[in-house]
Amino acid sequence: MEENKNTRRLEKLVAAPGVLAELVDYQEGAVVSRSVIAKQAGTVTLFAFDEGQSLSEHTAPYDALVCALDGEAEIVISGKVHRLRRRRL
């Protein structure tokens, strides 16, 4: 059922403003991902990480952009540690 709700949200986003944080939901003990753009030139994927969850170190054929929409995270890029957190405006 959750998949259908997120799919409807994604369909509404095409050519319209949307809230990225509403396109992927947290799941206890898991990393949840949702691809919002999948083209030959690259992809845009949203992730929701439950506390303590992570991705393994990897490389990608495209440049990467990382934004914290909620909470905070520690990421490593080319061996350098970065702390991310959502700023309140």
User: Where would I find the beta strands (DSSP E) of the chain?
Assistant: 31-39, 42-49, 72-77, 80-85
State the residue range of the domain holding 61.
2-85
Number of structural domains (the chain) is 1
- Long-range contact list for 34-42, CB < 8 A, 24+ apart? 34/6, 34/10, 36/10
Tens of pLDDT, residues 32-51: 999 988 888 888 899 999 99
Q: What is the average pLDDT across 9-20?
A: 70
For residue 64, what pLDDT is reported? 85
The CA-CA-CA angle for residues 6, 12, 14, to 5°, reads 115
The average confidence (pLDDT) of the chain is: 84
Instruction: Check: pTM over 0.75? Answer yes or no.
Output: no
